[in-house]
Homo-oligomer: A and B are copies of this chain.
Amino acid sequence: MKGSGVIALPDPPALTFRASPAPASAQNTVSSKIPHHFCRVINAEKSEFNEDQAACCQISVRRREPGLEEDEEWLILCSTQFLTGHYWALFDGHGGPDAAIIASNYLHYCIKQKLEEIVGGITEAQPPMHLSGRCVCDSDPQFVEEKHIHAADLVVGALENAFQECDEVIGQEMEATNQSGGCTALAALYFQGKLYVANAGDSRAILVLKDSIVPMSSEFTPESERQRIQHLAFVFPKLLDGEFTRFEFPRRLKGDDVGHKVLYRDYFMEGWGYKTVEKADLKYPLVHGHGKQARLLGTLAVSRGLGDHQLKVIDTNIEVKPFLSCIPKVNVFDFALHDIKEDDVLIMATDGLWDVLCNDEVAHVVRSFLAENRTDPQRFLELAKCLVCRARGKKRGHQWMLDDSHEASYDDISVFVIPLHNREED
Residue ranges of A at the interface with B (Cβ–Cβ < 8 Å) = 70, 117-118, 121, 127, 129-132, 134, 136-137, 139-140, 143-144, 146-147, 149, 152-161, 164, 235, 250-251, 254, 256-257, 260-263, 265, 268-274, 290-291, 325, 327, 329-330
Contact B263 A149 (CB under 8 A): yes
Contact B270 A143 (CB under 8 A): no
Q: Which residues of B contact A127 (CB under 8 A)?
A: 263, 272
Q: Which residues of B contact A121 (CB under 8 A)?
A: 263, 274
A47 to B: closest C-beta gap in Å: 26
Q: Which residues of B contact A260 (CB under 8 A)?
A: 130-132, 134, 136
Q: Which residues of B contact A139 (CB under 8 A)?
A: 251
Contact B117 A251 (CB under 8 A): no
Contact B290 A254 (CB under 8 A): no
Q: Name the contact of A268 in the complex, choosing from B160, B261, B272 (C-beta under 8 A).
A: B160
Given contacts A132-B261, A139-B251, A154-B272, 10 further A-B contacts (CB under 8 A): A117-B274, A118-B273, A130-B257, A131-B261, A131-B274, A143-B251, A146-B250, A147-B290, A149-B272, A156-B271
For A293, the closest partner residue in chain B by CB is: B146
Contact B250 A136 (CB under 8 A): no
Q: Which 4 A-B pairs have the closest CB atoms?
A: A156-B271, A157-B271, A131-B261, A143-B250
Q: Which residues of B contact A158 (CB under 8 A)?
A: 271, 273
Contact B160 A256 (CB under 8 A): no
A122 to B: closest C-beta gap in Å: 11
Contact B118 A270 (CB under 8 A): no
Q: Which residues of B contact A160 (CB under 8 A)?
A: 268-271, 273
Sample of 10 A–B contacts (CB below 8 Å): A129-B250, A130-B261, A131-B260, A134-B260, A137-B254, A139-B251, A156-B271, A160-B271, A160-B273, A161-B273
Q: Which residues of B contact A149 (CB under 8 A)?
A: 250, 263, 272
Q: A161 vs B127: C-alpha distance in the bound complex, in angstroms?
A: 44
A146 to B: closest C-beta gap in Å: 5
Q: A154 vs B273: C-alpha distance in the bound complex, in angstroms?
A: 6
Q: Which residues of B contact A147 (CB under 8 A)?
A: 250, 290
Q: Which residues of B contact A152 (CB under 8 A)?
A: 271
Q: A325 vs B231: C-alpha distance in the bound complex, in angstroms?
A: 13
A258 to B: closest C-beta gap in Å: 10
For A290, the closest partner residue in chain B by CB is: B146
Contact B270 A156 (CB under 8 A): yes
Contact A271 B153 (CB under 8 A): yes
A99 to B: closest C-beta gap in Å: 20
For A259, the closest partner residue in chain B by CB is: B70
Q: A94 vs B182: C-alpha distance in the bound complex, in angstroms?
A: 48
Q: A214 vs B312: C-alpha distance in the bound complex, in angstroms?
A: 46
A326 to B: closest C-beta gap in Å: 9
- Asked whether A263 and B330 contact (CB < 8 A) given A137-B251, A251-B129, A257-B136, the answer is no
A271 to B: closest C-beta gap in Å: 3
For A149, the closest partner residue in chain B by CB is: B272
Q: A30 vs B146: C-alpha distance in the bound complex, in angstroms?
A: 47
Q: Which residues of B contact A131 (CB under 8 A)?
A: 260-262, 274
For A235, the closest partner residue in chain B by CB is: B235
For A268, the closest partner residue in chain B by CB is: B327
A41 to B: closest C-beta gap in Å: 29
Q: Which residues of B contact A261 (CB under 8 A)?
A: 70, 130-132
Q: A154 vs B268: C-alpha distance in the bound complex, in angstroms?
A: 14
Q: Which residues of B contact A146 (CB under 8 A)?
A: 250, 290-291
Q: Name the contact of A269 in the complex, choosing from B157, B250, B271 (C-beta under 8 A).
A: B157
Q: A115 vs B198: C-alpha distance in the bound complex, in angstroms?
A: 42
Contact A271 B136 (CB under 8 A): no
Q: Which residues of B contact A329 (CB under 8 A)?
A: 270
Residue with the highest number of chain B CB atoms closer than 10 Å, among A158, A269, A273: A273
- Asked whether A164 and B274 contact (CB < 8 A) given A70-B261, A137-B254, the answer is no
